[in-house]
Amino acid sequence: MVVAYFLVAPLVRGGQEAEIATATSVSFEGVIARSSGDTNPFIGTPWISVNCEGYVGKPIIIADIDILALFETLKKAGLEPGQNIEYRGQEKFPAGSPVRILIEWSEKGESRIVDLSKVIVDKKTGKPLSTIKNPFVFLGSAPSPSGPVTLKAESVGCIACTVNCDYALFTANKDNSGYVGEYGTASRYYIPEGKLPETGTRVRVIISWESSTSKP
């Protein structure tokens, strides 16, 4: 199924563009850095950090986007940032406006679109995240306790992950068990081989939501 989305003028911040969409979606460019494996984080920036305990290094998708500009664009569109959860010791669901996270790329001259909730698999259940209601939410990150950045997400470069910690803009809408129990500091979620395009493929990341999610 082809997902329709509509872009208008870009918002420029810090030399990078956050492309503002209508009330239904926003999109930005990225590249596949790993085509499979653990998903913490699964979308990050070129300066993704590994200093947050449990991170597995480079993300699945490296996105060319200013995180604060993206955050402000989504708030302007009416999305509500949710409850930030510390990723250890809090077994509860996050809050925030529900979103879909898709990627689009060209393959043999044809456009391909994949909903990431359908290819991210829970190791505990063996099922994709698409089996739960509202697989991803706009967690929104937490404010940075000290300069030069505004959000914690900017300090580590994490846009989306599956752990519900307060360093990400988007998270899986699951109870926070990504780094505990039998998984230790490894991810509870992963992307199997063969579900995404090969490493180095340029993609467009699409964040979409129902129009009712936005403020009038």
Q: Say if CB 150 and CB 123 are below 8 A apart.
A: no
For residues 99 and 129, the answer to whether their CB atoms sit within 8 Å is: no
Looking at residue 31, its pLDDT comes to 92
Most confident of 84-88, 149-153, 163-167, 203-207: 203-207
* pLDDT tens digits for range 146-169: 777 788 888 888 888 887 777 888
C-beta atoms surrounding 132 within 10 Å: 16
* CA atoms of 74 and 181, how far apart (whole Å): 34
pLDDT recorded at residue 51: 52
Contact 186, 106 (CB under 8 A): no
Cis geometry, peptide bond prior to residue 148 (ω within 30 degrees of 0): yes
pLDDT digit string, tens, across residues 128-141: 999 988 889 898 88
Distance CA 32, CA 59 (A): 9
Q: Which amino acid, 19?
A: E
Give the predicted TM-score (pTM) of the model: 0.80
* Domain segments of the chain as ranges: 21-213
Average pLDDT, the chain: 75
Q: Would you say residue 179 has pLDDT above 80?
A: no
Q: Are 197 and 88 in contact (CB under 8 A)?
A: no
